[in-house]
Structure 1
Amino acid sequence: MTQPIGVEMPKPVLAIEDLTVSFDGFKAVDSLNLYVDRNEVRVVIGPNGAGKTTVLDLICGKTRATSGSIRFNNLELTKMREHDIVRAGVGRKFQTPSIYENLTVFENLEMSFPRGRKVLGALAFRRTPDVVERVEAVARDIFLHDLLHQQADLLSHGQKQWLEIGMLLMQEPELVMLDEPVAGMSVSEREKTAELLGRISQGRSVLVIEHDMEFVKSIAHRVTVLHQGKVLAEGSMDAVQTDPKVIEVYLGH
């Protein structure tokens, strides 16, 4: 696409360039370039061992890069600590739901309100109207408004996944990263999750790792295929699905 003269194209929210991480000489991620825009749902697919989860670990600071750059809104994340990356606006959900099962849905969401997450903030935390308003708004987004006062351990597996996504949304991140968000969900829960991701991508970026190709079709604006730590292919789901290289190393199996 030709850029109009004098018109500056929007910069990507996330710009990963020449990113490499080696474990005892094995390159789990190898000279990776990846760019994610605002309002985009980007899905990363690929065979087991392709480096998908490692990329999320690198972005959130859990794993340190051997070389390369990860820029988020012009911040260099490779130089930052995990909690500072969260405060900068990067939220991540792991494969297994990590919620407080002995607390209610409301209390789980309330605990994730930014003011309550720091030690001094937690000591002085009060359930003020802005907290209640934010909890109720997020609970509506994640289909749990009618279950606000239910203890979290009584939720279905899919509802627990939504609750953890809600805990991320309470922090108002600009980049949301989800690792296999529909694993173990029913068909109806997957459909509602697709609707949820479409909604939460408005005004932010969503980066998803997923194996369920039907779900990927329903949510992805662009798909990146990783293989042996490198980008094998990138584009629309239709383009990726018909790429002979992708069929050979991933979809053909």
Structure 2
Amino acid sequence: MQQTNPASTSKDFLLSVEGLTVSFDGFKAVNDLSFYVDENEIRVIIGPNGAGKTTVLDLICGRTKATAGSIRFRDKELTRMREHEIVHAGVGRKFQNPSIYEDLTVFENLELSFPRGRGVFGALAFKRDAEVVSRVEEIAEMIFLKNQLKTEAAILSHGQKQWLEIGMLLIQSPELLMLDEPVAGMSVSERVKTAELLHRIIQDHSVIVIEHDMKFVQDIAHRVTVMHQGKVLSEGSMDHVQHDPKVIEVYLGH
């Protein structure tokens, strides 16, 4: 992995976040934050509650507008773009609670997310052809739901619902996926399979994960960014941040 280096040109990285700041009524939820994500990297952001982790994802996907700083994705400045433009640029976001269509089958949920179905005219012209079926089956196999294609989403386990939503992102072929606490509420076996899924995903994508489960972080992270009070407290391998006295003091020690 390339080292974090503010002097590097942003084209060296898939995502370059530099000097990112957002203030809410004078309170800086994110304060002069910089970090860089490589291609095919799993970057995990950890930190105590209120550190600004979810706000960073909100800023990258355009849900919240930055007060200052830059977010460059490939050659695009995301701070100037709207949410739907950022999605079309190749950034996908999964929130903490799965938002799937519970009354539809696994197949129908994935089919509905297929890019050609976007927008009113796209939806009207959409046809279930061999390309769609093949892609849905490919994604379903990747997310461990190949045998549940005809199953109504409502009766899936919590973990399977999380995988389905990740599949709904994957079928849109984003280059960067952002996942907020993907294993919260999962069984131990589902967590192991989710780690396996993320290692599959990064063959063609990069992933930013916010997570509190340190065992899971250890299983997946290439690099870990530790946030505290809106800033980077420490960054590096899981081993490095685990032994950083500052991290032990404000986060891991509690």
Quickly name the TM-score band, shorter chain normalised.
over 0.9
Matched position secondary structure for 1:149: coil
2: CA distance, partners of 1:45 / 1:158: 21
Map 1:186-225 onto structure 2 (within 5 A). 186-225=187-226
Matched position secondary structure for 2:33: strand
Map 1:47-196 onto structure 2 (within 5 A). 47-196=48-197
1: CA distance, partners of 2:206 / 2:38: 6
TM-fit CA distance, 1:149: 0.3
2: CA distance, partners of 1:146 / 1:71: 39
2: CA distance, partners of 1:13 / 1:79: 17
The question of whether the paired residues in 1 share the 8 Å contact of 2:10 and 2:16 is answered with no
2: CA distance, partners of 1:119 / 1:60: 23
Matched position secondary structure for 1:249: helix
TM-fit CA distance, 1:202: 1.2
Matched position secondary structure for 1:231: strand
**How large is the Cα RMSD of the aligned pairs?**
1.4
Residue 6 of structure 2 is matched in structure 1 by none
Matched position secondary structure for 1:39: coil
TM-fit CA distance, 1:244: 0.2
Matched position secondary structure for 1:173: coil
Residue 247 of structure 1 is matched in structure 2 by 248
Q: How many residues align?
A: 248
1: CA distance, partners of 2:204 / 2:147: 26
Q: TM-score, normalised by structure 1?
A: 0.96
Q: 1:111-150 CA distances to partner (integer Å, 9 max, x unpaired)? A: 0000002211001100011000000000000000000000
2: CA distance, partners of 1:126 / 1:92: 26
Matched position secondary structure for 1:43: strand
Q: 1:176-233 CA distances to partner (integer Å, 9 max, x unpaired)? A: 0000000000000000000000110112210000000000000000000000000000
2: CA distance, partners of 1:10 / 1:228: 29
The question of whether the paired residues in 1 share the 8 Å contact of 2:11 and 2:74 is answered with no
Matched position secondary structure for 2:30: strand
TM-fit CA distance, 1:9: 11
Matched position secondary structure for 1:47: coil
Q: 1:39-70 CA distances to partner (integer Å, 9 max, x unpaired)? A: 10000000000000000000000000001000
1: CA distance, partners of 2:86 / 2:159: 27
1: CA distance, partners of 2:207 / 2:45: 11
TM-fit CA distance, 1:10: 6.9
Residues 10 and 88 of structure 1: CA distance in aligned 2, closer, same or farther (over 3 Å) = closer
| 1:159 aligned partner, one-letter code | Q
TM-fit CA distance, 1:38: 0.4
Residue 41 of structure 1 is matched in structure 2 by 42
| 1:103 aligned partner, one-letter code | L
2: CA distance, partners of 1:93 / 1:9: 25
Gap regions ≥5 residues in structure 2: 4-8
Runs of 4+ more than 2 Å apart: none
The question of whether the paired residues in 1 share the 8 Å contact of 2:198 and 2:220 is answered with yes
Residue 26 of structure 1 is matched in structure 2 by 27
Residues 178 and 116 of structure 1: CA distance in aligned 2, closer, same or farther (over 3 Å) = same
Q: TM-score, normalised by structure 2?
A: 0.96
Matched position secondary structure for 1:203: coil
Instruction: Say whether 1:236 aligns with 2:228.
Output: no
